């Protein structure tokens, strides 16, 4: 459902924001879909969107909830660093 709404938004020309991606990450957390969460995070970075602290927390939570603590290790360094787009891009390519 969330993917369908996101696709419809894009078709209508609505540009996603960090809040949009945060909502999508919550859906991934609820579904336990780590891979999709990282894909969405990378997509946000590639669009030049700097994820919020909430996005980072959700990304870490989805990793922990699915027993993939090693993935959370990739999310944690970005979370504790400053919100710089360059750092975001480095993180996205490391974790993808």
Confidence category of residue 74, pLDDT binned at 50, 70, 90: low
- Neighbouring CB atoms inside 10 A of 40's CB total 25
Instruction: Assess if residue 3 is contained within a domain.
Output: no
Instruction: Assess if residue 68 is contained within a domain.
Output: yes
Question: Of the candidates 60, 46, 56, 43, which has an alpha carbon nearest to the alpha carbon of residue 83?
Answer: 56
78 vs 65, higher pLDDT: 65
pLDDT of 72 higher than 50: yes
pLDDT of 20 higher than 70: yes
Alpha carbons 18 and 11: distance in angstroms, whole number: 18
pLDDT of 59 higher than 60: yes
Instruction: Assess if residue 78 is contained within a domain.
Output: yes
Confidence category of residue 93, pLDDT binned at 50, 70, 90: very low
If you search the block for the tokens 């669009």, which residue do you land on? Answer: 47
| pTM of this structure | 0.72
Instruction: Assess if residue 6 is contained within a domain.
Output: no
CB-side neighbour CA atoms (13 Å) of 72 = 13
Which residue range(s) make up the domain with 30?
16-95
Domain count, the chain: 1
Alpha carbons 93 and 96: distance in angstroms, whole number: 5
């Amino acid at each position: 459902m969330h993917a369908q709404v996101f696709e419809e938004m894009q078709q209508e020309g609505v540009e996603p924001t960090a809040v949009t991606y945060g909502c999508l990450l919550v859906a991934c957390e609820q579904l336990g879909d780590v891979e999709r969460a990282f894909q969405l995070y990378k997509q946000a970075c590639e669009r030049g969107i700097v994820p919020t602290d909430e996005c980072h927390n959700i990304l870490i939570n989805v990793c922990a909830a699915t027993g993939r603590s090693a993935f959370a290790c990739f999310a944690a360094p970005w979370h504790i660093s400053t919100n710089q787009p360059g750092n975001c891009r480095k993180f996205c390519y490391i974790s993808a």
